[in-house]
Chain A
Amino acid sequence: MQTIDLRGVTCPTNFVMAKLELEDIETGTTIEFLLDDGEPAKNVPRSLKDEGHKLLGLQERDGYYVLTLEKGED
């Protein structure tokens, strides 16, 4: 599975980068994003879910979050 590290990237750049990344993969593919605690963890998963992607998991790991998503329909 592909992992995209978005730690150290502030809102909304992290969200836009995640979007751009999702544009390049097939519907139904699973992908992982690493997100900072705080605003990024609060905003990015919710925003991506609103865009039609399936949230599979969100787990805290040593001060950051791992978001697992399945790409939805374009």
Chain B
Amino acid sequence: MAEPKIDLKNLKAGGFIKERGKDLFTVRLRVPGGRMSVDRLAKIARVAQKFGKGYVHLSVRQSIELININFADFDAVVAELGEEQQKVASCGARVRVPTACGGCEYNPNGLVDTQKSALEVDQKLFGTATGHHKFKVCFAGCPFDCPKSAINDVGFQGAVWPKLDVDGCIGCGLCAKSCTEGALSMGADKKPVFDAVKCIYCGDCIKVCPTGAWSAEKKGYTVRIGGKWGRRPLVGTLFATFVPEERVVDFITCVLTWYQEKAEGAGRVRLGDIIIREGWQSLLERLRSEFPQYVVQQTIAPQVIQTQLPLPGQQA
């Protein structure tokens, strides 16, 4: 075979996507958590101008895609982006670049450092072959869930468990008024009464309390597993609560191992469909063996969203 004129190693890492036109490719860049330095952005702009069509596309999963790149320029594009440590991203049956919202450093709603989590997962797990299908991870800083974590294979959402110091409470009632979930009411003694079942761990009570009587008992990630979008959407369901930030990589690894094992021979099947096939108990038990204190007692299978009529069981 002839000596290749371009470095095929670049291609094997993924992120080069064939376009319609002759010789043309889209080059998808690796942007974990959607954050990037201005220097890097300027470099990408220069590369796009020099080799591309004069515009870039911002993908739905926070990546920048260079459009209309001639395959003969792959090496030059990779080298010039590398001057600002910008890497090309992955496609195919691999762990994809994690997405994340802005997180907690500057956003008043954020409860956990989503950016840090996204970077860590990108460094340690990006590109891991699943053997079956793509594997998407996402981090939301709080229950508002702007980045839609529940439609990822593993979706993380910041959560805080509130604790009341009764003596510090002056009975103003602000917390009960702010709790949109109805988890707080004012008791006869003018102190808030907490209904854990209704609480979604948003931390609004902690933020609003003027005396600091509410504080965080514990903090971490709510984890939903088995979501995806696409032709047959699924919403991921609750498997764990208050997973500490430093256990995130281990947690994903455990889910990934289960998926790699259980989907053996199943072809291109996403995690959620394997959970439905194998039963949620199997994954929950596997997770419980490693994360006993965080895994929920029981859950439900990923939920199908019917997007096409007639619905099953209806007459056409």
**Chain A interface (Cβ within 8 Å of chain B)?**
4, 10-13, 15-17, 19-21, 23-24, 43, 47, 50-52
Contacts and interface: CB of A to CB of B under 8 A. Distances in A.
21 contacts: A4-B1, A10-B12, A10-B92, A12-B16, A12-B17, A12-B25, A13-B8, A16-B8, A16-B11, A17-B8, A19-B23, A19-B71, A20-B4, A20-B5, A21-B1, A23-B2, A23-B5, A24-B2, A50-B22, A51-B22, A52-B22
Given A11-B92, A12-B11, A16-B8, 9 more contacts: A10-B12, A12-B18, A17-B1, A19-B23, A19-B71, A23-B5, A24-B2, A50-B22, A51-B22
The prevalent SS among residues of A at the interface is helix
Contacts, number: 39
A24 B2 CA distance: 8
A20 B2 contact: yes
B76 interface: no
Interface string B207-230: 000000000000000000000000
Given A13-B11, A13-B12, A24-B2, A43 B92 contact: no
A43 B17 CA distance: 11
A40 to B, nearest CB: 12
A11 B23 CA distance: 15
Contacts of A51: 22-23
Interface in B18-36: 18, 20, 22-23, 25
Contacts of B17: 12
Contacts of B22: 50-52
